[in-house]
Amino acid sequence: MLSGTQWAAVPFMCLLNAMTIFGNILVIVAVFTNRTLRQVQNFLLVSLASADLAVGILVMPLQILVYVDPTRLPRVVCTLFTTLDIFCCTASILNLAAIAVDRYAAIRYPIQYATRRTLATVLAMIAAAFGLSGVISIGPVLGFQQGNSSDASQSFNCTLPELPGYIIFSAMGSFYIPAGLIISLYVKIYITLRRRLRRRAQESAVNRFSQATSVRQGSDDRSSACGAVANPTTTSANAATATAAAAAAAAAAAGEAVTANSNNSSINGGGIQDASESIATAAAAAAAAAYQRQLLAGKARARQKISLMRERRALRTLGIVMGVFMLCWLPFFIFYLAGAWGVKQKSAFDAAVWLGYLNSALNPIIYTVFNEDFRRAVARLLRLSGRAEAAVGVVDRGGDGQEMSTLQRLRHRLLG
């Protein structure tokens, strides 16, 4: 019989079971009801959510029964349960590995992989994940299950397979090899993003320096031009005097002094106005060019800032993904592998089992909360759910005609 402390864990198990089912259903519905999310790569998340949903529906409830009374399940049901347990949990881990492969290829080879990331490629990755899971989990069906009784009519403790060879095989295939692949790929992604972040930070600093220099030069140009506009008489008079002297010399040589005087008068009059207008136009053009440079520089800085923020957020996400995955599954597989050498500690093993199941509840949070499109889609679904509850309340208070109208509007919102 369970102690009081052990019974206290049962409500937590039930709550975790409900969270797993609810969260993964949300992910699946969000992808298929939101056009923005119906992208090829998101089908990997749907596959992961499907495996985790199977853990919540097929595995966790039976695990609660086994936790309360290990002898409750018949031998055939126990064999089916352990097979499903290994299959669903392995499928979840291998889908995480497939997502890691997809993300690494998309970041490391963005152009080449963009043309190869087709629906057929993603479906092949999903089929490989579930196919390998089936191969690894078939052990209990083949008779690798051991109980404490050789008589099928007697009750026995329903446990995972205890044959050392199968324990090592399943532990390596279900966790250690996929975990090594996931960690190595995410470390490479981290290094790639880190280098890209450092390079963009350097480019941002260089751009800020060049933009500041450009702005100062534009200010100097505007100051010179504005100075000329502010005192056009002096500037134009100097130009007019030089031009008049040249014209007078030419006129004297040709014997046309009167014409020279006339030209001198014309230059001193209309020439000043023409020069002032030219300088004003140049000043306006310089000011417009400087403003355009500042505007473009501001947009470039904004884009770089957004890019840097996304890179940093991606690095944090990688750390959370790897940390949660290892924290949830490593303790279980340490205890599971130790069982091959007869090292067993039931209470610690039970806690490690549910810590592994916790990963199936956290996956829909980790892989969606950091995605803005997923957050919007989930929020929209939750708002629709709230409106549906409000509509049901209105139906309860209204008549038959109002009930039909409300249900029709709700159906239109959900399906439209």
Note the pLDDT of residue 150: 45
State the CB neighbour count (10 A cutoff) for residue 168: 14
User: pLDDT digit string (tens) for 354-398?
Assistant: 999 999 999 999 877 788 888 888 888 888 766 655 544 544 444
**Of 359, 392, 384, 416, whose CA–CA distance to 23 is shortest?**
359
Residue type, 109: Y
Write out the two tokens for 279.
Answer: 């300088």
Write out the two tokens for 199.
Answer: 């390079």
Note the pLDDT of residue 251: 42
In whole angstroms, give the CA distance from residue 210 to residue 114: 34
Note the pLDDT of residue 204: 64
CATH code of the region 4-205+318-370? 1.20.1070.10
The set of residues, in sequence order, having a beta carbon less than 8 Å from that of 178 and lying 6+ positions away, is 93, 94, 96, 97
Note the pLDDT of residue 81: 94
Note the pLDDT of residue 274: 60
Q: What string of DSSP letters covers 173-184?
A: IIIIHHHHHHHH
Start-to-end Cα distance in the chain = 52
Note the pLDDT of residue 259: 43
The average confidence (pLDDT) of the chain is 77
Q: Is the dihedral of CA 397, 401, 404, 406 positive or negative?
A: negative
Note the pLDDT of residue 161: 86
- Asked if 395 and 402 count as a contact pair (C-beta separation under 8 A), the reply is yes
In whole angstroms, give the CA distance from residue 322 to residue 178: 12
State the CB neighbour count (10 A cutoff) for residue 338: 15
Q: Specify the pTM.
A: 0.70
Note the pLDDT of residue 134: 96
- Asked if 191 and 312 count as a contact pair (C-beta separation under 8 A), the reply is no
State the CB neighbour count (10 A cutoff) for residue 223: 12
- Asked if 260 and 250 count as a contact pair (C-beta separation under 8 A), the reply is yes
Q: How many CA atoms lie within 13 A of 351 on its CB side?
A: 9
Residues of the chain short of pLDDT 70, as ranges, are: 1-4, 145-156, 203-277, 293-294, 296-311, 314, 385-416
Note the pLDDT of residue 236: 45
- Asked if 6 and 343 count as a contact pair (C-beta separation under 8 A), the reply is no
- Asked if 7 and 14 count as a contact pair (C-beta separation under 8 A), the reply is no
Q: How many CA atoms lie within 13 A of 297 on its CB side?
A: 17
In whole angstroms, give the CA distance from residue 329 to residue 89: 10
